[in-house]
Amino acid sequence: MKIFKRPLQLLRLTQINIILLRNRFDTVVLSSKALQSYSFISYFNPWYWFGKSRTRGETFRITLEELGPVFVKFGQVLSTRRDLLPEDIADELEKLQDAVPPFPGEIAKQILEQQYKKPVSEVFAEFDMVPFASASVAQVHGATLKNGKTVVIKILRPNIEKVIVRDISLLASVASLTSKFLPQGNKLKLREVVRELERSIIYELDLLHEGANASQLRRNFRHSDRLYIPEVYWEYSTKDILVMERIAGIPVSNIPALKEAGIDLKKLAENGVEIFFTQVLRDSFFHADMHPGNIFVSKDNPAMPKYIAVDFGIMGTLSPKDQRYIAENLLAFFRRDYRRVAELHIESGWVGRQIRVDEFETAIRGVSEPIFERPLKDISFGKLLLKLFQAAREFHMEIQPQFFLLQKTMLNIEGLGRQLYPELDLWTTAQPYLEKWVRKQLSPITMLTKIYHRGPHWVDKMLELPDLVHARLEQDATRKQIDTSNIADNIPSRKLQRRKWLGFGFGLIIVALINYLLFHLAITAVIAVNIVIGVIGILLVMLTY
C-alpha cells in the first residue's frame, strides 16, 4: 500500500504501534473468538508483563484518546453502532473526550490577524490569550467586541487538516485489512464507518457550517422558554474562526450547583425530553452531540429552567418518512402492538416486502417483551431502538445512518434526564407529545396543507400529460401497419384512433381547467377539487385509450 511507502506516514504508523502495545491493545484484538488460538502472541509484548491491567473497554477508549483527534472521532462514530459492538466497549466509547492540551495563545492571535488582515486590537476591545476550552480540532478563547458584547472565539488548530488527512488514510487502510482478514470485519462495516467519519470530520473543519447549524437551531427555538441558542456574529466569522455570543449558565452535570440555585430538577429533566422530541418531530433537525459538556442551565427562572446549548458541529436530520417511522414505532411499541411495528417496517421499505409479517412480528415480540417486564420508568428508549435494530438486522434491514445519531442522542438525553431526576418516567413525558404529533399528521388541515404546497408540482406533471399521450399515440401509429387494401378491417382502427384523440382533447380541457382553478381561485377547498378533476381527466384519457 502506498501509505506505507511514505516516510512520514511510516513514522506515524510506528508511533501508532507503540501506543497500541503500551496500552496492551493486542490483548483486546486477540480476545476475539476468531483469534483466541493466537493469544500467546501477547506474551511477547513487554507491556504485557509491566503494563497496567484494564478492562477491554477501557483499553479501547484510552488507546483511541492517545492516538489523537481522528481516532477519537472514529471511536465516537463507532459508538453509534451499538447494534454491532459489545455493550462494554460501546459504553466506554460513549465516554470518549477529545480534550487535548491547548496550543499557545500567541499562535491563536497570529491566526486571527492572518484572517482579519489587521491587528487583533483593532477588531476586539479585549482578547484573552489563555483559552478556556481546548479540543482536538479547535480551541476557544474569550473576547470582548468594540461595542462591549462578550463573545467566544473558536479557532481551528494550525495544520489540523494535514493531520486529519494522514490519519484517515491510515484508518482506511486498517479498515480494509480488517474487513478482508477478520471474520467480524465485514459485519462491523469498518470501511463504511471510516467514510462516514471522513465526511463528518471534514465538515467540522469548516466552522461556517457549525455557525449555520447554530443559526438554524436558534431560529427554531427563537421564542422558546426551554432552550436558548447563542447568537453567531457572522461579520467576525470565517472558515477557520467562529465568533459567538458568550453565555452564562451552570453546567448541567453540576447537580449541587443546580440545587443551590433552586432549579426544579424534575421540570428540567422533563423539559429536556420535550426539547428532544420537538427537534426530532417538529423541526427534523436535532443537536446530535448532547453530552453534558455541551449543555448549561440558565439561573434566570428556576421554576421553568431553560437549557443553553453550545457546540453545533454534529447535527442530525430526518425525512418525513423517518419521523413517521420513529413516532409510530415508539407508540406501537409501548402499546405492545408488535403487528403494527412489523407493518411499519415493511411499509417504509427498510425490510423487503417478501418478509412474512407474522415472522417479523414474532421476532420483535421476542426482544421486546422482556424489556416491558420492568416498570415503564426504567425502560430505555435508546435501548429499545437498539433491540429493534438487532431484530431487524436478522431480516436484512439496512439501517439508515441518521438513526444511529438519533439513538445516540436519545441515550444521552435519557442518561441526562435520569441523572437530574432518577424517577423520570420518559414514557409519561413523551407519550402526549408523540400522540399529538401523530394526530396532527393525520388531520384534514395537515393533509390540505400538503396538497396546497404540492399542488404546483402536480400541475407541472399534469401539463406534461398531453405531450406524453401524443408521443405514445405516435409510437403506436408508427408500430401499426394499417392494411389499406381492406377498408372494413380499417374501420375499427379508425374508430380507435378517434377515441384516442377524443381522450387527448378531454385531457387538454381538464388540464386547462385545473390551471385556471389553481391560479385564479386561491382557496384551499378548491385545491382538493382540482385533485379530483385531475384524476377524472387522467382516467378519461386512459379509458379512451
- Three cell numbers, residue 75: 471511536
* Residues pairing with 296 in the sheet: 251, 308
Give the C-alpha distances (Å, rounded to integers) separating 506 from 76, 466, 469, 477.
60, 10, 12, 20
Nearest C-alpha neighbor of 321 from the set 402, 376, 395, 393: 402
- Three cell numbers, residue 227: 432552550
Per-residue exposure over 354-373, b if at least 16 CB sit within 10 Å of its own CB, e if not:
ebeeeebbebbeebbeeeee
Give the C-alpha distances (Å, rounded to integers) separating 131 from 127, 176, 214, 216, 473.
10, 39, 21, 27, 73
Active-site residue flag, 289? yes
| Catalytic entry in 26, 83, 98, 289 | 289
Question: In a 10 Å sphere around its CB, with 0-12 CB exposed, 13-18 middle and 19+ buried, how is residue 257 labelled?
Answer: middle
Q: What is the dihedral of CA 308, 313, 319, 324, to 10 degrees?
A: -40
CB 275 within 8 A of CB 307: yes
For 205, list phi and psi in degrees, rounded to 5.
-75, -10
Please count the other Cβ atoms lying within 10 Å of the Cβ belonging to residue 165: 13
Q: Specify the 3-state DSSP secondary structure of 519.
A: helix
CB 68 within 8 A of CB 16: no
For 240, list phi and psi in degrees, rounded to 5.
-100, -5
Instruction: Report the relative pairing of strands 241-245 and 150-156 from DSSP bridges.
Output: antiparallel
Task: Give CA–CA dist 490/495, Å, rounded.
Answer: 9
DSSP state of 130: S
Per-residue exposure over 88-100, b if at least 16 CB sit within 10 Å of its own CB, e if not:
ebbebbbebebeb
Query: Half-sphere exposure of residue 150, counting CA atoms within 13 Å on the CB side?
Result: 6
Task: Give CA–CA dist 297/259, Å, rounded.
Answer: 12
Task: Give CA–CA dist 401/77, Å, rounded.
Answer: 10
* Residues pairing with 250 in the sheet: 297
Q: Which residue has the cell 441518521?
A: 402
Task: Give CA–CA dist 171/306, Å, rounded.
Answer: 41
Reduce the secondary structure of 75-112 to three states and give it as a string.
HHHHCCCCCCCCHHHHHHHCCCCCECCCCCHHHHHHHH
Give the C-alpha distances (Å, rounded to integers) separating 544 from 248, 489, 506.
72, 20, 10
- Three cell numbers, residue 130: 489563555
Active site residues: 289
